[in-house]
Structure 1
Amino acid sequence: MEYQTMGSLQRVLWNGRGNTYYSNIYGCSKFTAQQVLRFAYEVACGMTHIAELGYLHRDLATRNVLVDEHFTCKISDFGLARDVSLIREYESRSQGFLPLRWMALESIKDSVYTTHSDVWSFGILMWEIVTLGCTPYPGISSMILRQQLENGYRMMRPKHCTHEVYRIMYRCWREPQAFRPSFKELCQQLEDLIFKAQNYVDLVNIDERLFKGLTRCIPGEKY
């Protein structure tokens, strides 16, 4: 596998906080809001290919996306991936650590994984990208996360993110799972936003309190 100079997308996002990359004041912005959307677009395109081959990733998150010197995203870490080309879903019997905050409700409840559950994880990954690598469900203990999701709770729209972008990630968390978009549809929706070249993510006015949100990690949870 080719060497990815910039490391994980999570690390790239963390390094982008403050005025290091995003600075309209000094006119030295390395990334734009369009580039941030392009991160999500490239991951969606990569997952389209993976889904068409009949594979489930099962651990899609910014920590498992690598970035090269051109800031192109490439999906990695297929340790939990499964070939389901001949079946529609996969039931996990693993007792290892689980990425609960990235998992779909049906995966948390019933240990069932489908392409639809990868789409849910993509919605969480989009939220990570928009918030420059914040931990999902800030302020909510993982011990009550399942109950909150079953009651219909979903993460709110970050104030610096437009409704157009938020609607894309929110649709990834819909129930029943058949109502979620496909990765191919996600690619098209994100490409349309990038083409319009509007400021869908206001990185200049991001609320830095997001970076300070702490969450509790319990045994059996993977970050």
Structure 2
Amino acid sequence: MATVSLGTTPGGTTPVGTTPGVNTPDSEKNDEFQEHEKILSPDFLSTAQITDLLTEDVDGIQEKLRIFLNFKNLHTHLKDAIILDYYVSGFMWAKGMDFSVTQYSKFMTLLDMLLHNLRTLHMSLEDSIKWFGEVMAEIGPRHSQKKKEWNIFDVKQANAIIDYLKISLFQHYKLYEFMFYSTREEIVIGTEVGKMIPNIFQIHMERERQNFLRMKMTQ
């Protein structure tokens, strides 16, 4: 394995006043900050994409996210329709929370990584909740008591995110697992769980949208 020489310039010389291989308090602080910056990185949506989506209504958000996710025909692809609703509902919920662009970015990336952990890494519900808790400890208020400049969400926002993930993902975790891990034939021909998937997700997503609309009307 090749070794990397620390403390040297591209020309191979060491800048005056520094010692190779020795960590100063400032360098340790910088390393810690860089590690923190890796939390929920890379971003699922860019700043420009988030800013653009904020100008749209729910139909516009759905269409632009559909294009971004490269979903072709939602009428014949139940899985794609459910995944799209997952992201759209999350974005609409965040819109109701009046997040900053940075908070939108971290929240949408959090949604994406939770789905990735389930879909690709086959993470169990227990492991997913544990991972989620560790991430919230980094970006939420408990961590910010030590590093206030790293605060992304305050206590109220962090609790709201936890509550939202409980009802939007964790409560339906087994259904997501069935959707991702079962073959298409099992869902089409299939079991009682397969028959439940469309109805449960449609009811849930419609409820989320109605809650958002009611909240906007009272503002």
Q: Same fold (TM over 0.5)?
A: no
Give me the TM-score of the superposition, normalised by structure 1. 0.29
Structure with greater helix percent? 2
> Which structure's CA Rg is the greater one?
2
Give me the TM-score of the superposition, normalised by structure 2. 0.29
Structure with greater strand percent? 1
